Structure 1
Amino acid sequence: MQITRLPPVRQTLEPSNHPYLSGPWTPCLEEVDVDELEVIEGEIPADIDGIYLRNTENPVHQPLGRYHPFDGDAMVHQVSISGSKASYRNRFVRTHCFAEEQIAGQSLWGGLMDPPGTSKRPGFGAHGGLKDTGSTDIVVHAGVAYATFYQCGEAWMLDPETLENLGKAPWGPLDGVSAHPKVDEQTGELMFFNYSVHAPYMHYGVVDRAGKLVHYVPIPLPGPRLPHDMAVTRNWSILNDMPLFWDAEALKRDIHAARLHEGLPSRFALIPRHGQPEEIRWFEAEPTYVLHWTNAYEVSGSEGDEVVLEGYHQSCPMPQPLQEHGRYAHMMAYVDEHSFQCRLHRWRFNLKTGETREERLSDRIVEFGMINPEYLMKKSRYVWSTTTRPGWFLFNGYCRHDTETGEEQVYTLPDGVYASESPVVPREGATSEDDAYLVTFLIDENSSTSELAILDASDVTRGPIARLALPHKISSGVHSTWVERGMLARGS
Structure 2
Amino acid sequence: MTAQLVETIRSTLKSTDRPYMQGAWRPSFNEWNALFANGEAEVIGTIPADIDGVYVRTGEVPVHEPIGRYHPFDGDGMIHSISFKGGRAAYRSRFVRTKGFLAEQEAGQALWAGLMEPPHKSTRPGWGAQEWLKDSSSTDVVIHAGKILSTFYQCGEGYRLDPYTLDQGGTEGWVPDDGISAHAKVDEATGELMFFNYAKHAPFMHYGVVGPDNQLKHYVPIPLAGPRLPHDMAFTPNWSILNDMPLYWNEQLLERNLHVVNFHPDQPTRFGLIPRYGQPEEIRWFEAEPTYVLHWLNAWEEGDDVVLDGYYQEEPMPKSYPDAPEGYERMMAYLDQMLMKPKLHRWRFNLKTGKTTEQRLDDRILEFGMINQAYAGRKNRYAYSAVPEPGWFLFRGLVKHDLTAGTSETLEFGPDRFGSEAPFAPRIGAQDEDDGYLVSFIADLNTDTSECVLIDAKRFSEGPVCRIVLPERFCSGTHATWANGDAIGMGPNPLL
Superposition TM-score tier, normalisation by shorter sequence: over 0.9
CA distance in 2, matches of 1:134, 1:404: 37
Q: How many angstroms does 1:489 deviate by?
A: 2.1
3-state DSSP of counterpart to 2:113 = coil
Q: How many angstroms does 1:390 deviate by?
A: 0.7
TM-score w.r.t. structure 1 length? 0.97
Asked if 1:216 corresponds to 2:215, the answer is no
Q: How many angstroms does 1:490 deviate by?
A: 6.4
* Cα-to-partner distance string for 1:138-194 (whole Å, 9 max, x where unaligned): 000010101000000111110111101100000010000000001112222111000
CA distance in 2, matches of 1:486, 1:276: 34
- Give the structure 1 partner of residue 325 of structure 2: 326
Contact 2:54/2:83 (<8 A) preserved: yes
- Give the structure 1 partner of residue 9 of structure 2: 9
Q: How many angstroms does 1:429 deviate by?
A: 2.0
- Give the structure 2 partner of residue 455 of structure 1: 455
Greater mean alpha carbon deviation, residues 322-331 or residues 176-185: 322-331
CA distance in 2, matches of 1:139, 1:102: 26
Q: How many angstroms does 1:128 deviate by?
A: 1.2
Decide which of 52, 60, 71 is 2:74's aligned counterpart: 71
* Cα-to-partner distance string for 1:66-96 (whole Å, 9 max, x where unaligned): 1001111000001010001101111000010
CA distance in 2, matches of 1:466, 1:211: 35
Decide which of 119, 123, 146 is 1:120's aligned counterpart: 123
Matches within 5 A, 1:293-442: 293-300=296-303, 305-327=304-326, 328-442=328-442
3-state DSSP of counterpart to 2:287 = strand
Q: Which sections of structure 1, spanning at least 5 residues, go unmatched?
A: none
- Ranges of 4+ aligned residues in structure 1 off by more than 4 Å: none
Matches within 5 A, 1:46-195: 46-195=49-198
3-state DSSP of counterpart to 2:281 = helix
Greater mean alpha carbon deviation, residues 322-331 or residues 341-350: 322-331
Contact 2:188/2:374 (<8 A) preserved: no
- Give the structure 1 partner of residue 255 of structure 2: 252
3-state DSSP of counterpart to 2:487 = helix
Contact 1:77/1:90 (<8 A) preserved: yes
Contact 1:116/1:254 (<8 A) preserved: yes
CA distance in 2, matches of 1:7, 1:245: 40
Identity of aligned residues (%): 55
Q: Match for 1:467: what amino acid?
A: R
Q: Match for 2:347: what amino acid?
A: W
Contact 2:240/2:275 (<8 A) preserved: yes
Contact 2:2/2:36 (<8 A) preserved: yes
- Give the structure 2 partner of residue 241 of structure 1: 244
CA distance in 1, matches of 2:366, 2:7: 39
- Give the structure 1 partner of residue 494 of structure 2: none
Q: How many angstroms does 1:340 deviate by?
A: 0.3
- Give the structure 2 partner of residue 28 of structure 1: 28
3-state DSSP of counterpart to 2:473 = coil
Contact 1:399/1:460 (<8 A) preserved: no
- Give the structure 2 partner of residue 479 of structure 1: 479
Q: How many angstroms does 1:42 deviate by?
A: 1.2
Contact 2:422/2:439 (<8 A) preserved: yes
Asked if 1:229 corresponds to 2:249, the answer is no
3-state DSSP of counterpart to 2:19 = coil
3-state DSSP of counterpart to 2:265 = coil
CA distance in 2, matches of 1:7, 1:201: 41
Q: Match for 1:432: what amino acid?
A: D
3-state DSSP of counterpart to 1:145 = strand
CA distance in 2, matches of 1:271, 1:414: 43
Q: How many angstroms does 1:205 deviate by?
A: 0.5
Q: Which sections of structure 2, spanning at least 5 residues, go unmatched?
A: 492-496
Asked if 1:42 corresponds to 2:45, the answer is yes
Q: Match for 1:35: what amino acid?
A: L
CA distance in 2, matches of 1:36, 1:456: 19
* Cα-to-partner distance string for 1:95-135 (whole Å, 9 max, x where unaligned): 10001001000000000111231101111111111000000
3-state DSSP of counterpart to 2:154 = coil
CA distance in 1, matches of 2:108, 2:477: 24
Decide which of 189, 196, 200 is 1:197's aligned counterpart: 200
* Cα-to-partner distance string for 1:272-322 (whole Å, 9 max, x where unaligned): 00000000000000000001011000011xxxx110000100000000011
Contact 2:5/2:33 (<8 A) preserved: yes
CA distance in 2, matches of 1:481, 1:349: 28
TM-score w.r.t. structure 2 length? 0.97
Contact 2:10/2:29 (<8 A) preserved: no
CA distance in 2, matches of 1:449, 1:310: 35
CA distance in 1, matches of 2:207, 2:13: 38
What is the aligned residue count? Answer: 487
CA distance in 2, matches of 1:424, 1:185: 14
3-state DSSP of counterpart to 1:487 = helix
Q: Match for 1:36: what amino acid?
A: F
CA distance in 1, matches of 2:272, 2:240: 8
CA distance in 2, matches of 1:288, 1:270: 18
Q: How many angstroms does 1:44 deviate by?
A: 1.2
Contact 2:13/2:62 (<8 A) preserved: yes
